[in-house]
Structure 1
Amino acid sequence: MSAAESGTRTAAGSSEARDDYALTRVPEEARRSWVSVAVQRFGQVSSFQQFLVGAVLGFGMRFWDAVLAITVGSVMLETVTILLGVAGVREGLSTSVLARWSGFGRKGSALVGLLIALSLAGWFGVQNGVFAQGMHDLAGGCPQWVWALLGGAVITVITVYGFSMMAWTAYLTVPAFLFLAAFSVVDTLRGHSLTALMEAPPPGPALSLAEGTTLVSGAFILGAIMTPDMTRFNRRPADVVKQTLISVTLGEYLIGLTAVLLAQAARTADIVGIITTSSGVLGTLILATAILKINDWNLYSSSLGLVNSLDVLFGRQVSRRSVTVLIGAAGTALSAVGIMDRFTDFLETIGILAPPVAGIIIAEYFVVRRFRGELDRARRAGVLPGNQQDWMPLSLVCWAAAALVGKFVDQGIPTINSLLAAFALYAVAGRVRTARTARRPPPSAGAGPLDITLTKAGG
């Protein structure tokens, strides 16, 4: 290799590293310890949103019914998260790039990237608005829009610097949030009998088991889908299993059941009011850091999804950092003027489209395996498969059908219904198609073997 070629490859590798390998595989030398990734995963699950879910469960369900809802929801989430996470660590690819060879095709992956980008950018704006409101109520003085600008700017800067900076943020905020949970439980439950709380009827309108499980699974389904964005930095599949079992189990049970008890003791689902009343300034500040911790991953995965979509649709390999600044600025500005609050219903509606994505990726990668041979050969060479099908109509049909199942089938849990429907439809139809292809006669003697090109750019 000439000095010029070596210099070019070094420069390209340095550029990819600064961009957190947004469109390429994460190389082995850039992988992290499982603890580094696990702390961030726990930071997602033990977030302010999980406190909200637990409080709603505690307000509408008996304690042991809430335990059952959390258990069922957690098992489902852990299964999906582990399967997607294993695919992510094996291939070293983000969710939207992995989708190119996991059911959706090249242009289909652009739709996946846009769905992730739009959903998570929206939630970034919504949660930044919640942060601004909480800080305004605590500190006063500055208008709420100033807090929104400040919170959005801090998260954008953290996310621009990528995985390493986000890991350090988690090291600081996760222990702080756990301290808050312990302090709030001791303070709020002082004078209450735990046995009485566990046996007491819910203080609010009753929730069914299906409704409770839907809350648990629905609250984290986008977090499960973006799992490869995180686990591509792991070193081995066993790391994914360990961090998922620990973070999801502890996050759902520790944070969720804490909030259940707090809601039943205070007889309200207003978890913000409970925390600020029991913990004062310290509680509000730590609660704010919990919101910030999950919001950096909302912005990070949103930028990865948009980078993939721009690469596919326009052939432009734009910088993840630039896209992060753009999305962060837009979400921050919209939350500052209060517009994002009006988009919550819209975000929940497009959330119906998210679970089938997970079902299709899992079905293709682990069951149908149409592209696994190409992925395996390319992975050994440290590149991406060059053979990319633009559209895979089967995935689009299964995606639409499963979304309709989640929307209109009342029995069961909508999130899980749509995910399982997508998995089953794609797995069965994909295996049938593979069997038919295998029965076709071989090509004529004059035909040569399929030439599969391996390319670093992946496009």
Structure 2
Amino acid sequence: MPLTTDCRAPYTASDTVHDARFFNEDLAPTPPQRRTWTTYNYIALWFSMSMEVTTYMLASSLIAGGMNWKQAIGTILLGNLIVLLPMLLNAHAGSKYGIPFPVFVRASFGTRGANIPAILRALVACGWFGIQSWLGGQAIFAMLNVLWPQTASHAGVLWACFLSFWLLNMFVVWNGVESIRILQSFSAPFMVIMSLTLLFWMWHKAGGFGPMLSAPSKFHSTGDFLKFFFPSLTAMVGYWATLSLNIPDFTRYAKNQDAQILGQSLGLPVAMTLYSFIGIACTSASVAIFGEPIWSPITLLGKFHQPFVAFLALIALLVATLNVNIGANVVSPSNDFSNLAPRYISFRTGGLITGFLGLAMMPWKLMSSFGSYIFGWLIGYSGLLGPVAGIMIADYFVLRRTRLDVDSLYRRNGAYEYSHGINPRALVALAAGVVVALIGLVIPPLRFLYDYAWFVGFFVAFAIYLLLAIATVPPRLSGQTERPHVSSGDVKER
């Protein structure tokens, strides 16, 4: 079936007999009247999620690690083109059937087994939520320092700013997913303007693009460069490894397949490359202006003493951080936690759980340096999520040929019951992928496997899952025997 084919049948929550243990209104397939997201909404989504502090720091860390601006841009562009492929593949089911990630993953892991990858994804999102909340609090603290310099010496003020920004995120969560679409539609153009303003301000202070981009590569041989390049490329892929899994949480609202495919294909690589260039250029300029690479934009803005410029730029950072935190780090874990106990945990409750776990993961330690950010956090969790992506894609595209029995996703003893609701083949493939990807952390000679953690985990899990599926030939594994909805009849191609 072509990837661009839109395949949808009318569906409402009352169309089928569902099990309350696996169903609530937030997890139900999105009905046609709520599928309103256009190509622009997906472009805006990616611009909003890309134009924020951690993207800037992702790019600037490559400069701090020794790359010149051309090497850094090339690494970022390649990484985002690579991750775009699993992004679009997993997005297909969301748009076709209107189902979120924790429901989609039931097809490969089982109705009960799906909780394992869902919680893995949710815990990573909680870590990101804490990181973004910490950075947002730092931005508020920096704005206060611009207006009232005496606050800089009071550590309690920083913690108050952090908790205030956390509460602001919780307020947006309480207002639901539609508020996210509205917020991002208006904030994306604003963020483009403010980011370009920051770029040209640094251009002015540095004396032009020549001095601004003059920082040379610190690598003196191809071998030295490749030792830094490959782990960095894995980190670039790992940066969006989270969204490559739960992208159905967003594409379930697409008007059609073409809207999400075109919107994501334009939005992700363009937005990431554009904003990464701003981070790279500003960090390179900081070498010319201050004599050292400053990888945090909050710290960089604090170096300037023009209150109006610093205040306006920090406002932009604050808006960007709020956008990405809600869009990327709340929607998915809220659905994932809801999937654990749909009768008791709604989207709102799941969002509150995400917020509190984000606090508990101590984000100030995760962002203590660019090394811990790139080589610890990003690469580390990519080894957990890459295998999940490999299993999902192998199951949906290779084995099922994009056909799902949606009704069976919401009840026991259906097409996805496997063994007591758990697919042992998926768990074996997941364990194998994670172990091989992360084994380099404890066995130094195998460190290269960790440097490629996402790729290693993805392909190991993909291959093992297919081999086990072919060897055991479980009943109804082939997508040819499955149907989109029990009560809606055959799905019509359009």
What is the TM-score of this pair, normalised by structure 1?
A: 0.81
* Structure 1: tracts of 5 or more residues without a match: 1-7, 13-18, 439-448
SS at match of 1:325: helix
2:416 paired with 1:388: yes
2:400 paired with 1:369: yes
Query: Do 1:221 and 1:354's aligned partners in 2 also have CA atoms closer than 8 Å?
Result: yes
- The equivalent residue for 2:364 is 341
Deviation at 1:198, TM superposition (A): 5.2
Tell me whether 40-49 or 274-283 shows the greater mean CA deviation: 274-283
- The equivalent residue for 1:441 is none
**Aligned partner of 1:367: which letter?**
V
- The equivalent residue for 2:102 is 96
Deviation at 1:330, TM superposition (A): 5.3
Over residues 114-144 of structure 1, what are the superposed CA-to-partner deviations in whole Å (9 max), with x where a residue is unaligned? 1122221222122212221231233055722
Q: Distance in 2 between matches of 1:331 and 1:57?
A: 26
**Aligned partner of 1:123: which letter?**
W
Q: Which of 277, 286, 300 is 1:257 aligned to?
A: 277
- The equivalent residue for 1:174 is 188
Query: Do 1:121 and 1:331's aligned partners in 2 also have CA atoms closer than 8 Å?
Result: yes
Deviation at 1:387, TM superposition (A): 3.5
Deviation at 1:39, TM superposition (A): 1.4
Tell me whether 384-393 or 58-67 shows the greater mean CA deviation: 384-393
Deviation at 1:81, TM superposition (A): 0.7
Over residues 176-232 of structure 1, what are the superposed CA-to-partner deviations in whole Å (9 max), with x where a residue is unaligned? 322222112111123545356556513699673213312311222112222111111
Tell me whether 298-307 or 199-208 shows the greater mean CA deviation: 199-208
SS at match of 1:372: coil
- The equivalent residue for 2:469 is 430
SS at match of 1:106: coil
Tell me whether 127-136 or 389-398 shows the greater mean CA deviation: 127-136
Change beyond 3 A, Cα 1:67–1:350:
closer
2:81 paired with 1:75: yes
Q: Matches of residues 445-456 of structure 1 in structure 2 within 5 Å? A: 454=486
SS at match of 2:405: helix
2:165 paired with 1:151: yes
Over residues 326-366 of structure 1, what are the superposed CA-to-partner deviations in whole Å (9 max), with x where a residue is unaligned? 4335545x48xxx4434677965455311211111111000
- The equivalent residue for 1:235 is 255
Deviation at 1:251, TM superposition (A): 1.6
- In the alignment of these two chains, the number of paired residues is 418
- The equivalent residue for 1:445 is none
Query: Do 2:405 and 2:482's aligned partners in 1 also have CA atoms closer than 8 Å?
Result: no
- The equivalent residue for 1:202 is 217
Over residues 269-327 of structure 1, what are the superposed CA-to-partner deviations in whole Å (9 max), with x where a residue is unaligned? 4232334446411111111111111111212211111000224xxxx353222332343
Query: Do 1:70 and 1:213's aligned partners in 2 also have CA atoms closer than 8 Å?
Result: yes
Query: Do 1:156 and 1:299's aligned partners in 2 also have CA atoms closer than 8 Å?
Result: no
Deviation at 1:255, TM superposition (A): 0.5
- The equivalent residue for 1:270 is 295
**Aligned partner of 1:79: which letter?**
L
- The equivalent residue for 1:133 is 138
Q: Distance in 1 between matches of 2:429 and 2:72?
A: 33
Query: Do 1:24 and 1:384's aligned partners in 2 also have CA atoms closer than 8 Å?
Result: no
Q: Which of 305, 310, 317 is 1:287 aligned to?
A: 317
2:347 paired with 1:320: yes
Change beyond 3 A, Cα 1:437–1:109:
closer
Query: Do 2:142 and 2:314's aligned partners in 1 also have CA atoms closer than 8 Å?
Result: no
**Aligned partner of 1:55: which letter?**
S
Query: Do 2:53 and 2:135's aligned partners in 1 also have CA atoms closer than 8 Å?
Result: no
Query: Do 2:173 and 2:351's aligned partners in 1 also have CA atoms closer than 8 Å?
Result: yes
Tell me whether 344-353 or 391-400 shows the greater mean CA deviation: 344-353
Query: Do 1:95 and 1:229's aligned partners in 2 also have CA atoms closer than 8 Å?
Result: yes
Q: Distance in 2 between matches of 1:29 and 1:429?
A: 40
Change beyond 3 A, Cα 1:39–1:451:
closer
Q: Which of 42, 55, 69 is 2:47 aligned to?
A: 42
Over residues 6-25 of structure 1, what are the superposed CA-to-partner deviations in whole Å (9 max), with x where a residue is unaligned? xx969x9xxxxxx9942210
- The equivalent residue for 1:443 is none
Q: Matches of residues 2-41 of structure 1 in structure 2 within 5 Å? A: 21-34=25-38, 35-41=40-46
Q: Which of 101, 118, 123 is 1:118 aligned to?
A: 123
* Structure 2: tracts of 5 or more residues without a match: 1-12, 18-22, 146-150, 288-292, 441-445, 489-494
- The equivalent residue for 2:68 is 62
Change beyond 3 A, Cα 1:399–1:269:
farther
Change beyond 3 A, Cα 1:451–1:210:
closer
Alignment RMSD:
3.4
Deviation at 1:432, TM superposition (A): 4.0
Q: Distance in 2 between matches of 1:80 and 1:290?
A: 25
- The equivalent residue for 1:15 is none
Q: Distance in 2 between matches of 1:324 and 1:20?
A: 15
Q: Distance in 2 between matches of 1:192 and 1:365?
A: 53
Q: Distance in 1 between matches of 2:137 and 2:279?
A: 22
Tell me whether 210-219 or 76-85 shows the greater mean CA deviation: 210-219
Change beyond 3 A, Cα 1:340–1:243:
same
Query: Do 2:212 and 2:285's aligned partners in 1 also have CA atoms closer than 8 Å?
Result: yes
Query: Do 2:41 and 2:263's aligned partners in 1 also have CA atoms closer than 8 Å?
Result: no
Query: Do 2:105 and 2:392's aligned partners in 1 also have CA atoms closer than 8 Å?
Result: yes
Q: Distance in 1 between matches of 2:404 and 2:119?
A: 27
Query: Do 1:122 and 1:347's aligned partners in 2 also have CA atoms closer than 8 Å?
Result: no
Of all paired residues, the percent bearing the same amino acid is 19
- The equivalent residue for 1:442 is none
2:110 paired with 1:105: yes
**Aligned partner of 2:350: which letter?**
V
- The equivalent residue for 2:443 is none
Q: Distance in 1 between matches of 2:178 and 2:81?
A: 29
Q: Distance in 1 between matches of 2:97 and 2:294?
A: 42
**Aligned partner of 2:347: which letter?**
R
Q: Distance in 1 between matches of 2:32 and 2:239?
A: 32
